[in-house]
Amino acid sequence: MDRRDFLKKTIGCGIAAGSTLAFPEVGKLFAAPKRVAYDLVAVRGGEPDQMFDLAIASLGGMQTFVPRGSRVVVKPNIGWDLPPERGGNTHPALVGRIIEHCLSAGARGVSVFDHTCDNWRRCYANSGIEAAVEAAGGKMVSADSEGYYKSVSVPQGRRLKTAKVHEALLKADVFINVPVLKHHSSAMVTIGMKNLMGVVWDRWYWHRNDLHQCIADFSSFRKPDLTVVDAYTVMKRNGPRGVSLSDVVPMKAQVVSTDPVAADAAGAKLFGTDPGDIRHIRIASDMNLGQMRLENLSINRIKI
């Protein structure tokens, strides 16, 4: 048997057996493109974990997005030292359920982090996210030191051409962005694209150099495999930190999409704002990073 025949037979056997141990790249090389029934799923009326169960099922299950043996990063908003009922961070029940789905799909591991605004240890603990992650079998990763970040080029950057990105994301095979929907004093709203500020070291550069353009620019660096918008408890004013419980309203909603611009557009609608009025959503759409016109999408609307 010559070398060419040997490789053909060995790779063929590996595929037939569902194994890529001998050739770890074979699975990626021959993997079918992701095909989902809907561009976006919008769920209302349930608990965060319950709504995600229904949303991910309608997209074919988490195995559609998480290959066996893959390294997954889940990026919630954990920026503030606040309890879940204040709406400043992603709901811990949602984060925990996403991790459970990833591990059930065969993920090798799930890491969770955020470059927080308040003290990171207190944010991780008091948000409830650290406990939820550990209970689900995931791993919390620190993001408080510049040494965790590596310089990258931003491919379509106009104002933001380079950034230092957390190494956990750079090493991940699958990226799931899990923002909370809330008001923001500078960006009008925080949703998915804005949540990506938590994977970079110098977030203040964005604020000093056209925040909306930088948000759209960085969205061209790496598209999340899924964006899951938490709109269970929504901060309608005084964001991004809020002042009191009077700032939040119970909405019990969730948006899930493979298109980050569509997810933000749907989130803006839930918030009560036209997506076209949010400049970074409009810019990202103009940069062809996703679809902001919801009428052009196939949407599965689920009411519990």
CA atoms within 13 A on the CB side of 133: 23
Contact 176, 98 (CB under 8 A): yes
143 Cβ partners below 8 Å, 6+ apart? Answer: 113, 114, 115, 116, 120, 166, 198
pLDDT tens per residue, the chain (304 residues)? Answer: 443 343 333 323 332 333 333 323 333 333 344 567 899 999 999 999 999 999 999 999 999 999 999 999 999 999 999 999 999 999 999 999 999 999 999 999 999 999 999 999 999 999 999 999 999 999 999 999 999 999 999 999 999 999 999 999 999 999 999 999 999 999 999 999 999 999 999 999 999 999 999 999 999 999 999 999 999 999 999 999 999 999 999 999 999 999 999 999 999 999 999 999 999 999 999 999 999 999 999 999 999 9
- Distance, CA of 14 to CA of 109 (rounded, Å): 23
- Distance, CA of 135 to CA of 49 (rounded, Å): 14
- Which residue shows structure tokens 């997506």? 275
- Fold category of 36-303 in CATH: Rossmann fold (3.40.50)
Output the pTM of the full model: 0.88
Residue 124 tokens, joined:
């991780």
Helix, strand or coil, per DSSP, at residue 239: coil
Residue 178 tokens, joined:
């899990």
- pLDDT for the residue numbered 9: 36
- Distance, CA of 41 to CA of 228 (rounded, Å): 10
- Distance, CA of 72 to CA of 66 (rounded, Å): 8
Residue 52 tokens, joined:
């995600």
**Furthest C-alpha separation in the chain:** 75
Contact 117, 186 (CB under 8 A): no
Output phi, psi for 265, to 5 deg: -65, -45
- Distance, CA of 13 to CA of 67 (rounded, Å): 19
Q: Residue count of the chain, please give it.
A: 304
- Distance, CA of 227 to CA of 40 (rounded, Å): 10
- pLDDT for the residue numbered 19: 33
Domain boundaries, the chain: 1-31, 36-303
Own/partner pairs, 19-22, CB within 8 angstroms, 24+ separation: 20/69
- pLDDT for the residue numbered 35: 64
Contact 114, 75 (CB under 8 A): yes
- Distance, CA of 160 to CA of 142 (rounded, Å): 24
